[in-house]
Structure 1
């Protein structure tokens, strides 16, 4: 025999090498525990895993060192396996929870999983007991004078079997089999479990050769801690895996109990198996409850809370799946069916919310959903994107024209909301995809993306809102810059709060003597990249994207503040501000205007709020109530673009306004079209009879000014006098007309 073999045999046997084995146990435990603590401190997602491993290592080490110490004392040598077995059983909860957490990769460890693990230990204990009990076909050493150490060893080995199963579960069900660390942990439980098996076979003694295997197992655990994970954790806790595990334990427990009863095993072992079945049955019931809750939560995650139809997440998931099926080569031969996406927006919904309250707005959305959903084809998906936007996804089984007919019928009957009847006007944008569409391969792949197709339909819908069309189909030539449009809207939203909106002022002059009567506040956008943008370049976007009210309030705030500054300088000038349709229907507007005027100490009579006929007649009861409240404050009202409405003369006598503004479309044709001149003359006469001031817009030449003066028009506004000017340039314009320095008191003499 070689010298090295003799040393190995001596080391693993009894004799003077026992103290050295004890030292080996101490060093191995200390070094492994230190490595595990280091990993627990430096890990992030797996921190609790390694913390539990480190505590388990410490507890396991206490048992191993104690067993090694027992082997040194001859009187205790026969029971040397007991401390190690006790600590191994106590370590089981820590090791099992660590492995469960590792396999689930979840934020916390489910305590009910420990119930399942403990039940599995009881079942395995019963199975091992059947094998080892004499008289049942087993050959186990249960004839020793004190059988309880052997029973403890059986329990220890049962814990080891369950831990090996948990390690394999982490390797395969959690897709960690490519991570060498999990195999090192598996090796740890194989090697450390070998000592328990040896002790069991030796009737409670602790073979000296088991200690090196146990030390190698701890070193394998330390190696797993040193290595870094190869794959980032992506999986979350799933009750399905626990359900499968509980079912397996219940099945194994029932089988073990049945076999035990057939072979006449001791009743204690059968009771142990039945307790395991009971524990796993409880866990199985908990799992089934969790699965039911999970099904409910998943359904709720895909359902809109307010309307009960699909939400954005469900829409994108369905549309992605539908487009994937329609791609060439994804299914049987033949032409691939097309997919059509309709984005539906409820017009003027903000006005319902502002005027009648959010409860009324929610009720309107619910009634709209209840009216549309039952009429749609069964194969169509109806979803709510959020706010007042809905989406209908249809394929060849649900032709788009049928869906459009449903949406058209919805608009015919009003909805009873807040005690009044509200008509639902819908703007619809349509985008389609077919595999046969004439695009390049790259464009076809891009179109077969749910979010991209949805953006196209959304762009068409905003075009429908802007143009007043009921349905607009996406056209790459017209709507190609979808991304740029959305970017501009985002920038505008920021511009409102970042102070990028600028107010310019255009003078209004008395026709009699040419003195200044007032100014109209007109908004501009000082874009940080594109420069100064005219209203036509961004106000349509503000209107269609629900930003017009915010723009209006910002212009009103700046205008009153500037008017207050002018008044402190002696410039007494009336300021006119345009109100958007949505702002006009906001019942909180009068209070906001009153607070603004009081803050800047500006008299209400010097502020004119201009509204269009269309805005007044959209919901006359609400809009007239707001105008009446403003009139009660002393604020003047003006009808802007007069003559472009459809019931001007019949409504004019009911409106609490003090000014009427002739639209530029009439003044431009005043000299060339006798009918335009007749309309203007009649309108001026009617306005004066109602004691209204008349302001003509769009005056660009002296001849038009002379004609308006002859017809009795009170004031004029246009490029003939001045373009809209920033406040400093307007002050310079006033000073030039009066021959005084800009900002000097007395620059203005007459105001109306």
Structure 2
């Protein structure tokens, strides 16, 4: 199944299937008939050959069976009498005398028939609105003569391409007219293809007047013309009755089609390959060439050979007078060729960026593949920062010039360097035999080159550029380019302008691309769970509360870094699900423990990205509604405040959160965007001093003063102040400095690492909370 799936993913395989299905549908529906007709007509013109001369046609200009013209029946009777003296082997009358004329005319014709041996009359099968109908001549005329059947299938263009061997009529099998003319009897229900390559002019043919005159005046010549031969007498041409169309001759007597059928049988019925068989054969050949792993040039040679095979078969079939049922196959190859040409055109346009004329990343993939040493090449992707802002400021006609000017600067040390573009903010190139150290030095030099602005249409444009590099042994061009691009995305203008991608295994790549699904599974199965880090009242040593932290223990990879998978949750839109789980588990755990009846405070982290709407409030309200717990025991720590885009909206969401009774805390205060402005703009009840200041208090006077100042500020605003990051061997000294600074609550590895909730019982519990008059939530 995997092999079939991989086969279907191949675009060429899909195109083969699409072309084959379309060709089959056109063939089975008859829509391909014009193409089939064209090939058959072409065959008849290319390989014309003379008739056998064994079948002679005598034609009447008008309908011999017309009951209103009894003289025509008398003339036919005279002709039959005369032919009897000339000695034809057999005589066939194709007109159907189903209506009586005068008694004299009918008797005269009947007498002539009765006096002639080996004479046959035709039953004509017709399909009408009422169903199938059979027309046959009157017994007074046919007497004991044998009968044959004329049954034909006319296509929408008036051509008859197949004729039956025999037909079942009234429960009896009767030979068809062409089979009887050729003296061959075949099975009923089967048909054969008519060979129209017989030259029409070589079929012996006479008018009734010519034949009658010859029989009266020159019997020797008549015997030469008719003796021992099969004679067909029929009417048509002069009017629209009993007229047929054959290739090259739009109006001929209807009997001519049966004569062509007889000539086909007399020449020996050729083998015939049905069009589905030919289509299947060529589909198989094309599929083999499409999926085999060869270079593009070799594959094109394969396609050319398939086309030549089709042409060769057509030529062979034509020379041998075999039916060439190749129209559907030709349509299949034409459709497949069209699809591949369309892809080639798309690929060609995808190889060059229209606005700049620079080759695209698609061209870089091709060039790396043709290089043959992808694993030793380094791919550099340059990321142009503020790209969209610059384009929005420049006239549209200057966009291409802007990119080309950047590309020219990248070529400053190698003028023939081939620069590729993705049409946006990324430019790339490939280098060989450059060590990472030399390459990094070169890229730093290129950054320096961009220190001076570009002049685009008289406008000075600053260019900030950073670089991502994949110099690993990765052998896939697509992966190498993607890896270098991902590395470029990890760069920053000031801190990390150059980033080298690290080698990763196939398993690592598969893990990363399926991480979002794994997060969903882990949330469902409990692999993602909550641990608790105690917060200690450092003056009494009693337990103040705990911070609920999330962990992930994967069965395959072990412990996954919280910072890593939380970032993935944010990118994948899974933060709501993660927050809901943490709140539900943490609140229900506290509610079921003895600490729920004390002054214990539980902190739960909430990403600032969730403050854009009220859904986080709904998550909190759902969690509180399911437990018996005092909401004032819950503190929500707002993390990454730098990601708050709209302070007004965030303030409204936070006010709704506070209406439930919970407290709000600003995390990592003192660094990043957790500033005095944030503290002023948003309704916080608690401030957590960042670990970067707390850990330095024993040895750094500035850090101690910052901790003192924040503590004083928080208390003056009526806020709880917590110091985080009390760790290591200096933990005792840090605690003493925190006491001196007036900070009462702290947390960190010095006290305990995050663990199961039950471990909190090892600490002295806080005093029991007074609950008189305090509203409590019940299930």
TM-score by length of 2: 0.49
**Alpha carbons of structure 1 residues 682 and 610: separation in structure 2 relative to 1, 3 Å:** same
Answer yes or no: is 1:117 the counterpart of 2:33.
Answer: yes
Answer yes or no: is 1:320 the counterpart of 2:365.
Answer: yes
Which one of 577, 592, 605 corresponds to residue 619 of structure 2?
A: 592
Match of 2:482 in 1: 455
**How far 1:211 sits from its partner (Å)?**
8.9
**How far 1:648 sits from its partner (Å)?**
2.3
Question: Contact 1:130–1:138 at 8 Å: present in 2 too?
Answer: no
Match of 1:719 in 2: 749
Question: Contact 1:105–1:234 at 8 Å: present in 2 too?
Answer: no
Which one of 641, 656, 659 corresponds to residue 686 of structure 2?
A: 659
**How far 1:454 sits from its partner (Å)?**
2.6
Match of 2:422 in 1: 382
Question: Contact 1:511–1:716 at 8 Å: present in 2 too?
Answer: yes
What's the CA shift string for 1:165-210, capped at 9, x where partnerless?
xxxxxxxxxxxxxxxxxxxxxxxxxx95477768986864565993
Instruction: Tell me the distance in 2 between the aligned counterparts of 1:407 and 1:621.
Output: 40
Larger CA deviation: 519-528 vs 557-566? 557-566
Answer yes or no: is 1:210 the counterpart of 2:240.
Answer: no
Match of 1:421 in 2: none
Match of 1:697 in 2: 724
What's the CA shift string for 1:441-461, capped at 9, x where partnerless?
xx4xx54x3322133224414
Answer yes or no: is 1:144 the counterpart of 2:168.
Answer: no
Instruction: Tell me the distance in 1 between the aligned counterparts of 2:479 and 2:48.
Output: 67
Match of 1:490 in 2: 514
Instruction: Tell me the distance in 2 between the aligned counterparts of 1:223 and 1:728.
Output: 77
Instruction: Tell me the distance in 2 between the aligned counterparts of 1:537 and 1:212.
Output: 83
Instruction: Tell me the distance in 2 between the aligned counterparts of 1:109 and 1:302.
Output: 32
Match of 2:665 in 1: 638
Matches within 5 A, 1:63-462: 104-106=19-21, 109=24, 111=26, 114-115=30-31, 117-118=33-34, 121=37, 143-145=57-59, 192-193=192-193, 204=258, 210=265, 214=269, 217=272, 317-324=362-369, 326=371, 340-342=380-382, 374=400, 375-377=402-404, 380-382=420-422, 392-393=427-428, 430-431=468-469, 443=473, 446-447=474-475, 449-461=476-488
Question: Contact 2:44–2:195 at 8 Å: present in 1 too?
Answer: no
Match of 2:143 in 1: none
User: Alignment RMSD, CA only?
Assistant: 6.5
Instruction: Tell me the distance in 1 between the aligned counterparts of 2:428 and 2:590.
Output: 52
Structure 1: 5+ residue stretches without partners:
1-43, 45-100, 162-190, 249-279, 330-335, 348-362, 385-389, 411-424, 434-438, 739-745
Question: Contact 1:157–1:196 at 8 Å: present in 2 too?
Answer: no
Instruction: Tell me the distance in 1 between the aligned counterparts of 2:18 and 2:192.
Output: 21
What's the CA shift string for 1:214-268, capped at 9, x where partnerless?
59658999999999968857879xxx99xx9xxx9xxxxxxxxxxxxxxxxxxxx
Question: Contact 1:613–1:642 at 8 Å: present in 2 too?
Answer: no
Aligned residues: 508
What's the CA shift string for 1:617-675, capped at 9, x where partnerless?
66544444433332344331111111223672344233210001112222222232332
Instruction: Tell me the distance in 1 between the aligned counterparts of 2:714 and 2:366.
Output: 63
Match of 1:179 in 2: none
Question: Contact 1:509–1:515 at 8 Å: present in 2 too?
Answer: yes
What's the CA shift string for 1:251-303, capped at 9, x where partnerless?
xxxxxxxxxxxxxxxxxxxxxxxxxxxxx9xxx9xx99x989x9699969999
Answer yes or no: is 1:472 the counterpart of 2:502.
Answer: no
Higher relative contact order (CA 8 A, sep 6+): 2
Match of 2:13 in 1: none
Match of 1:728 in 2: 758
Q: Determine which structure has more spread, i.e. the larger CA radius of gyration.
A: 2
**How far 1:543 sits from its partner (Å)?**
6.3
Question: Contact 2:378–2:430 at 8 Å: present in 1 too?
Answer: yes
Give the match's secondary structure for 1:376: helix
**Alpha carbons of structure 1 residues 232 and 704: separation in structure 2 relative to 1, 3 Å:** same
Which structure has the highest helix share of the two?
Answer: 1
Match of 1:355 in 2: none
Larger CA deviation: 654-663 vs 612-621? 612-621
Match of 1:611 in 2: 638
**Alpha carbons of structure 1 residues 105 and 665: separation in structure 2 relative to 1, 3 Å:** same
Question: Contact 2:667–2:674 at 8 Å: present in 1 too?
Answer: no
Question: Contact 2:588–2:627 at 8 Å: present in 1 too?
Answer: yes
What's the CA shift string for 1:417-476, capped at 9, x where partnerless?
xxxxxxxx999662368xxxxx9xxx4xx54x33221332244146438x9856433244
Give the match's secondary structure for 1:653: helix
Question: Contact 1:345–1:427 at 8 Å: present in 2 too?
Answer: yes
Instruction: Tell me the distance in 2 between the aligned counterparts of 1:107 and 1:115.
Output: 11
**Alpha carbons of structure 1 residues 210 and 728: separation in structure 2 relative to 1, 3 Å:** farther
Answer yes or no: is 1:688 the counterpart of 2:715.
Answer: yes
What's the CA shift string for 1:23-49, capped at 9, x where partnerless?
xxxxxxxxxxxxxxxxxxxxx9xxxxx
TM-score by length of 1: 0.51
Match of 1:263 in 2: none
